[in-house]
Chains A and B, each alone.
Chain A
């Protein structure tokens, strides 16, 4: 840019320095600290000096192995079965605590499956972390299409020329301006097993045929309930982003489509959707990033339970770094989270590259 502005080093630095200093102190510095702490045994308060431990923390978190269990056999070499015909196996403990297998030391069973007569057991050094990782991934995979698709539906709905359409836009957007902490507590009441609105309304609508569910207290429904609520809360946000994408599509394209006599679906498929490509990438990336940071809902609604079914990465990072004052443990999870987010942004860069 051929600027005629004079060089003004002193003024330039003086104006930018306050911002940069704060950013450096409170974002950049702790960011590098996170990497450093993840390689040490740093604690919040400790009588012992901090030591460098290399990748030990990562190994303790990510260590996974598969163990094959051979069936128990009696003296005739027959497989022992219990009354239901289930094969009996030696306890995993006999392997993870045995001095013969130092490589499995301290690991716990994560899950297992049957293969022939043998059982394959996946053992992990940190089963809770593994569950948190899987839950977070699951959350992201389900909420991205649900929330993104729902928001697109809302945007298409709101993008009509009707009298009073702005009132509807205002309503759809309303949950966005309410804090997620408030929303979480409100929905705790809605989801409640005994007094909850959801159970009450559904059982009234089905004339009592519906069995009340303790939505957040049941390990099969807890994560799903949190997903639905989260999608509901932020849908208006993404609706607005879709809407601004829709408005960049030239009206002439729609006129052409109308002249050609295309159906509604054809118009969407061949005019609207191609015009929304970059918006789609943006919406998906934003949802994904927010979803990986899932914390408040968990902290307010379930605290990771029941039976670790709603553990997430950030919840684990906070629990370790703050709750257990294990700064290094929290930092390791934070760094892993950062690499996941970094990968996603690189994917976004790649997907929207030709635009730049």
Chain B
């Protein structure tokens, strides 16, 4: 990259950065506004929204909104619920889906092709199609229904976890990745007399870092961020409610904007921090779901 004809080149470079920065403002400013607003008492906040002060932490800055938000709703409980549901689902999903994908790629058994076809065919079913009958199923499931038999699994953690553990996309990601692993490794281990389970554990899993990261990122985003409709209809009970549905407390008319912004900031900080730490892996995982086929 040689520097060609000084001034002209510099101007062109500057204009490119200018365009990039202007576009960046479009994506950054609403989020900046959210975070900055959460530190302003409502009087200050509403006075500032008519100018660029809206994006600057100026004037009366305080943590009052956060204190008020915590008072209004059991945010700590919601946060723990969401984290718990997310972590258990991600671990369960990775374990069960990767084992299944392992058997589809490396083991030769009767029925594997048809089973894999059925699994991949479910990719086309939108969750919205099955939400209503699934509600009926889980409300009638008696198994482990401690909280009262007639409502089955409603108002539990398990109703938020178990139906979400297996999804065709995660199996698909593992299958695609395993297909590219050298089969000689597995065959050699087999000749050595290793059992399938130990091949999975000692040979395949240590090689699966990238796909594990991809599956974990996609699943945790899904569970933490996008779980709204399902818990909305199956969890009425505060003790099990995830943080997205916990927002219901802030729907009332009298709620102050600053307080709401504090709650939204609290929800977003963990996932934003996670993203900024591992942004390459995040972006790669989205790209890998796109470039299939």
Interface residues of A (CB under 8 A from B): 3-9, 11-16, 18-20, 22-23, 25-31, 33-34, 37, 42, 44, 154, 157, 160-162, 165, 168-182, 185-187, 189-190, 195-197, 200-201, 203-204, 232, 235-237, 240-241, 243-245, 248, 278-279, 282-283, 286, 289, 292-293, 295-296, 299-300, 313-314, 317-318, 321-322, 327, 330-331, 334-335, 337-338, 341-342, 345, 352, 355-356
Set B34, B108, B137: member contacting A12, Cβ < 8 A: B108
SS of A interface (majority): helix
Q: Is the CB of B100 within 8 A of A327?
A: no
How far is it, in angstroms, between the C-alpha of A177 and the C-alpha of B264 when the chains are bound?
13
Q: Is the CB of A177 within 8 A of B134?
A: no
Q: Is the CB of A317 within 8 A of B131?
A: yes
Set A12, A160, A240: member contacting B283, Cβ < 8 A: A240
Q: Is the CB of B287 within 8 A of A295?
A: no
Interface residues of B (CB under 8 A from A): 1, 13, 16-17, 19-21, 23-24, 26-28, 30-31, 33-34, 37, 46, 49-51, 54, 96-97, 99-100, 102-104, 106-112, 115, 118-119, 122, 124-137, 139, 162-168, 171, 183, 186-187, 190, 196, 200, 221, 224-226, 228-229, 232-233, 244, 247, 250, 257, 260-261, 264, 267-268, 271-272, 274-276, 279, 282-283, 286-287, 290-291, 293
Contacts of B96 in A (CB 8 A): 18-19, 22
Chain B residue nearest to A195 (CB atoms) is B46
Knowing A19-B166, A27-B125, A162-B17 are in contact, say whether A42-B136 is a contact too (CB < 8 A). yes
A-B CB contacts (within 8 Å), total count: 300
Knowing A20-B115, A240-B283, A338-B126 are in contact, say whether A5-B190 is a contact too (CB < 8 A). yes
Q: Is the CB of B104 within 8 A of A16?
A: yes
Min Cβ gap A301→B in Å is 11
Contacts of A176 in B (CB 8 A): 286
Contacts of B125 in A (CB 8 A): 27, 31, 338
Set A6, A26, A178: member contacting B31, Cβ < 8 A: A178
How far is it, in angstroms, between the C-alpha of A168 and the C-alpha of B24 when the chains are bound?
7
How far is it, in angstroms, between the C-alpha of A235 and the C-alpha of B37 when the chains are bound?
24
Q: Is the CB of A181 within 8 A of B247?
A: yes
Set A154, A174, A278, A314: member contacting B28, Cβ < 8 A: A174
How far is it, in angstroms, between the C-alpha of A157 and the C-alpha of B102 when the chains are bound?
40
Set B126, B168, B293: member contacting A23, Cβ < 8 A: B168
Set A30, A331, A337, A356: member contacting B293, Cβ < 8 A: A356
Q: Is the CB of B33 within 8 A of A335?
A: no
Chain B residue nearest to A12 (CB atoms) is B109
Q: Which of A14, A27, A172, A190 has the most CB of B within 10 A?
A: A27
Min Cβ gap B144→A in Å is 14
Q: Is the CB of A317 within 8 A of B132?
A: yes
Q: Is the CB of A12 within 8 A of B133?
A: no
